[in-house]
Amino acid sequence: MKLKYFSLAVISSITIMSCATNAITGRKQLSLVSDGEMESMALTQYKDFLNENKVVPATTADATMVKRVGQRIAVAITKYYASKGQSNALNGYKWEFNLVQSKEVNAWCMPGGKVVVYTGLLPVTKDEASLAIVLGHEITHAVAGHGKERYSQELLAQGLQSVGGAALGTNPKAVSIFNSVYAPSAQVGVLLPNSRKQELEADHYGLIFAAMAGYDPRVAVPFWQRMAALGANGQKPPAMLSDHPSDAQRIAAIQQLMPEALKYYQGNK
């Protein structure tokens, strides 16, 4: 029993010492690995995924649209971080946007700015503005460090808090944990079920980034309503909705955030 309490005390101490304050959200997050380590491991996963799946040629209209919307969101994020004096937080980001052939209704972004959209999402987004809402949301998960936070939590839970640097990529247990968090084949928008705080952050800043990119954030409500309708009509719920807040909760929260997002939109039309 004493050993158990000692272990809990050690974990608590490590958690406190390893917390970092996110530069943009202001929320404290567990951080046992560096951004560079995360980006290196993510790049390996990303390349493997592209090699194993059918990437839609960049010359097609849909792939061109995905790249266009993605680049506009990336420019908006860069501008936003610069306005907050946090440009260095994006130093490791080398943006890439790919459209992949799949019926799955999904999109994701890995650390370092590697973004994939599935063709199954486009009939639901219907237009560029709605796609911008999705990309803003998924990219926020990456830039807000949600994956690193989740990975750090899993490392700590498995007693691997001392693993770092190159050892992360060679430690079988650490790699397995990383894959469970980031493997595209097992992801929910790229992450395992996110906390409500993470989802609210992704919706919040995703709206801002889309608005700054010149897309009307008000399309977010009908988009999420269309997503909800897929499940209501008896279809398999889109991966992006799995383990996320309920449709009603999400839409209500987005409506509360809309006045702020519209200010950014009006300033960037």
Active-site residue set: 138
Strand partners, 3: none
Please give the structure tokens belonging to residue 148.
Answer: 């690193």
Three-state SS string across 103-172, please? CCCCEEEECCCEEEEEHHHHHHHCCHHHHHHHHHHHHHHHHCCHHHHHHHHHHHHCCCCCCCCCHHHHCH
Q: Are 109 and 190 in contact (CB under 8 A)?
A: yes
CA distances (Å), 251 to each of 31, 83, 205, 218, in order? 30, 28, 15, 11
Whole-number Å distance between alpha carbons of 47 and 113? 13
| Contacts (Cβ under 8 Å, ≥6 apart) of 86 | 23, 24
Q: Is 60 exposed, middle or buried (0-12, 13-18, 19+ CB in 10 A)?
A: exposed
| Contacts (Cβ under 8 Å, ≥6 apart) of 62 | 56, 99, 119, 122
